[in-house]
Structure 1
């Protein structure tokens, strides 16, 4: 069972804290793999907006965690407290994966953990982060940045995207999708997607794409074109493209390819189907096409992904205290 710790102190944002608690605090009923052993670490009872929180452990406990999560930092003009900075540095030196949500990036930057690394934060504060910490390579146009051992997210909903990304890394796409369904959110928004889109998820029954998305998902094995999607939606291809860009931040074909890759991940995780069969099931046509797109998108070939995921489904030994 992997351990996760929330680093809290006065001045944190309660929304991002609640997001992390919801994702890592307990597994959905359908998930049977060992879930995260989540603790809350802070120097003392702390005030988060209108709430008072009593931590489970002191900040020194962060160094025992596999993953340390820093929620949003309410006042970016106030430096993070030295004890929190020191605890994060110690945890990182011990090998912990350090994650910030929203303006928690200012805490990581204050600890020097973002120096020389790409990072992001809420779009309203990216200029401030870049100006205050010139050694940080601030990217204002993405939902989250994964540097391996240090990860940062943009604001609010993007914090949930990063948390689901972590579940996907640790437990695979199928389980991350199960968590997303419980939360009634999209199962995957790529980290490179733009922060600001008109409507990240169509939430009105009369939205032009509300019925189109499930129609596509049910037909991923078919050779769909933009014209097919436009015809089903009852609009021109150009009009469809505008709606897709506003709703998802990507083109129809980019979104379609992302869904095919997600489906391939699930099949690699949950079945013993060979690559040719999976290629046909996901509309990729041939194993060569699947391997090319899969490797380009995820950085590993399908066979490696399958072996890696199946090794992660086995219970991991806990880190020594």
Structure 2
């Protein structure tokens, strides 16, 4: 039997990568635009940064037994609010803070940060705003923005939207790792003020906004709009905590993210101990009170979802409590004594709010 031969002729389309939705020249322009931001973050240890196939960093020689501490995170659905408001200048700092504050909880010195920015079509103005925020976050943390990836992937994301991921690496002397093992009954729990909602709980925030339909551009507190209050960037505690570590031994640190105080503090408490916190020890910031009232949210749910005004917890010995408060205050932090560490009967709640 004779085989059939195809008679279909293929006409060349003369396509380019740009026709498929990827503009390499735009990507190169973005790199040139962000170089001035990244230069401000260069610190000792950087051997090579943005532009190569991999960034090189030398561990500081002041460490005898250096242990690397790493963390990765994103910004979550706060990005959806950024898209809605067309407000992209703060989410970069959020990205840095979520990872840097995590490694700080182990007592690590932040060394460098890498970012991943993915979009369907690269918008230079939006991307530059986001990356500028990342550089600001790195400056606040004292770490270098050493590299990253910008991925333009047509069809993967809706028009005007993007996704972010961040990766932080720090170092701590092995003998100075903070892991909570030295915490004992009688230790004092200190709370450092958050700058707002930070980057957790935005699924509930967006639900409240959708149901209540408030005017996001209206004045909120006489100094900023509701939109600005909702988009306030996550506070970075690196410099204040680093200074405190030089002055006295910190027994435990908890970064208060998703799950609030109730979920995060138990992660640093040894077996047989709990934290007894006084509800009136710190004020509920206006933004959280507004969310609670508008959403009809119970106190218990608020403390399970939001930081409720406390972005980081530090646990120290009672004899060091006032010194710690003074040091953190001098570093620009607002600090409250939240309560004490107590003995704990197995099976009960590890955080008690009275």
TM-score by length of 1: 0.28
Structure with the higher helix share, 1 or 2? 1
TM-score by length of 2: 0.26
Structure with more contact order per residue of length (Cα contacts < 8 Å, sep ≥ 6): 2
Structure showing greater radius of gyration is 2
